Amino acid sequence: MDSMLLVIETETLTLLDRVKEKDAAEIENAMLDDVLETHQFTEIVLVSKNIKMRQTAQATYLAEISGELSLHGVTLRNLIEVEAEFNNIDLRARGEFWLRQSDYNIEQFKALGGSLKVKDAVKISFDIAAQV
């Protein structure tokens, strides 16, 4: 695999944290409307033309994806490590990476009257299942 294109519609993102239901709705709305500004920035796009893979077990690989991540109107190079499992036609990819919101012109998130703040550096985790 030499290249990859991943497109995520920003309006499909949801909060997966353990908070009260009332607070979760407020946080999710703020994330979509105020932080990510999904009405203006409708997609998050990762374009990679360099993927290095090595097998770590039967049907399991560790991949280093070097690419450009476009988020909130800004495109920057990123390196993402992914653990991938292939089983016949099924693909499962898991990983995480860090990014600084300020690099993407995203203002620091605050909710619940300012009592909840998100640091500039945030960890992005993903678990993707697909059929190839």
The domains found in the chain, sorted by start residue, are 4-131 (2.40.128.110)
pLDDT of residue 116: 66
Could you give the CA distance from residue 24 to residue 116 in angstroms, rounded to a whole number?
Answer: 12
Straight-line distance from the first to the last Cα atom of the chain, in angstroms, rounded to the nearest whole number: 12
pLDDT at 1: 59
pLDDT in tens, the chain (132 residues): 578 898 999 998 887 777 787 777 887 888 889 889 999 999 999 999 899 999 999 999 999 999 999 999 999 999 999 999 988 889 999 999 999 999 999 987 766 666 767 788 988 888 889 887
Looking at residue 74, its pLDDT comes to: 97
d(CA 19, CA 62): 33
Report, in angstroms and rounded to the nearest whole number, the Rg of the chain calculated over CA atoms.
Answer: 16
Model pTM greater than 0.85?
no
Tell me what pLDDT residue 49 has.
Answer: 85
Euclidean distance between CA atoms 94 and 26, whole angstroms: 28
